[in-house]
Amino acid sequence: MTTESYLSCPSDARIDLLEHPEARSMLDQLVAEGVTYGNYSHLTAAGGIRDLVARVARLLADPERGYAILDVGSPVDADPLLADRARLLLVILGTQFGQTVTKNHLSDSPFFSVFLRREGKGGKYIGNALSNNRPGVHTDGSALHDVRVDFMGLLCVRPAKYGGESIVVNALRVFSQLPAEVESFLVQFPFVRQNPYEPENPIPVRHTVYHQIETPFYSGLGIRYHRTRIEGGHRLVGEPLDPEAIHALDTLDRGLYAPSNGHRFLLRSGTMLLANNHVVCHDRTEFEDHLEAPRLLERYWSGECLDSPRCR
């Protein structure tokens, strides 16, 4: 799994907004009308964005790919207006694939800032977004009971001084490599998941690792996985993982971390990783920050509201 820049990533996964002048014109018009990522409520794609949405959708629905990297055309770290424009574009894209379901316990923004906070984590949150920890290869939202995350977008506002590469892994390719008995176990056993936003919830969700999924843009086998959330869930309810479960997860991890199953990119300011959260697992490498301008990615989710007041 070699480190690649945005420009050297697989060409079929790369989208340059400059190639979509209609989408850029539509963004200009919306911004002029006072539309922002916070108040955008269009439910159908306007003409200018339709081709870009279709291009992203093809990549997300492709079980051999499952992700796209979109370059908005310029860095956004030094210009708040450009950053807001990129956020608006990400929300427009995301709402074509479901409702906004981003969980943010720090504010009402649909974006969750992924960065290193020197003062530590906020509230009772036990996730990895606000730390320099490497979370491990995972999908987002696998422990949530009130939303389903279908689409995941990461906007790079500022890269780190060193490290902080984004890693994507095709979980369906990994599944096809598993022994038959491990495949069977992972589609049948309901693992407990500890919710990072409600870590002491006495009734955590139970999900299989692999499952059949139907979304507006993808239908087929999907994954919901975060080893840390699973181990925390089983500790929480006092149900230790037995040897068969540990063997299945260890075997899965060997596939998820195999270099042949993943790609690794250094996102630059103004680029977005757009992912099908049921096909692609992701991770990041550890990083070292500039003291005056720390690494900042902003995460956005869309999908299905199950029982959440935060859905819009």
Measured over the CA atoms of residue 106, residue 35, residue 302 and residue 312, the dihedral's sign is: positive
CA neighbor of 305 nearest in space, from 144, 66, 110, 195: 144
Low-confidence ranges of the chain (pLDDT < 50): 1-8, 119, 312
CA neighbor of 234 nearest in space, from 105, 171, 143: 143
Q: What is the pLDDT of residue 285?
A: 86
Q: What is the pLDDT of residue 108?
A: 79
β-pairing, 166-170 vs 262-266, is antiparallel
- Delimit the domains of the chain by residue range: 3-305
Query: The tokens of 128 are what?
Result: 């990895």
206 touches 279 (CB < 8 A) = no
CA neighbor of 188 nearest in space, from 145, 248, 239: 248
Q: What is the pLDDT of residue 220?
A: 97
Q: What is the pLDDT of residue 4?
A: 47
DSSP 8-state code for residue 268:
P
Q: Helices (DSSP H) in the chain: which residue ranges?
A: 21-32, 47-61, 80-94, 171-176, 180-186, 227-237, 243-256
For the chain, list the strands marked E by DSSP: 3-5, 14-16, 67-71, 99-100, 112-114, 147-158, 162-163, 166-170, 191-193, 205-207, 210-214, 219-223, 262-266, 271-276, 280-284, 287-288, 296-305
Give the number of other CB atoms < 10 A from CB of residue 231. 18
| Structure-derived torsion over alpha carbons of residues 234, 240, 242, 245, reported in degrees to the nearest 10 | 10
Q: What is the pLDDT of residue 36?
A: 93
CA neighbor of 280 nearest in space, from 104, 87, 127, 68: 68
Q: What is the pLDDT of residue 2?
A: 43
Written out in words, the top-level CATH class of the domain with range 3-305 is alpha beta
Q: What is the pLDDT of residue 43?
A: 62
Q: What is the pLDDT of residue 7?
A: 44
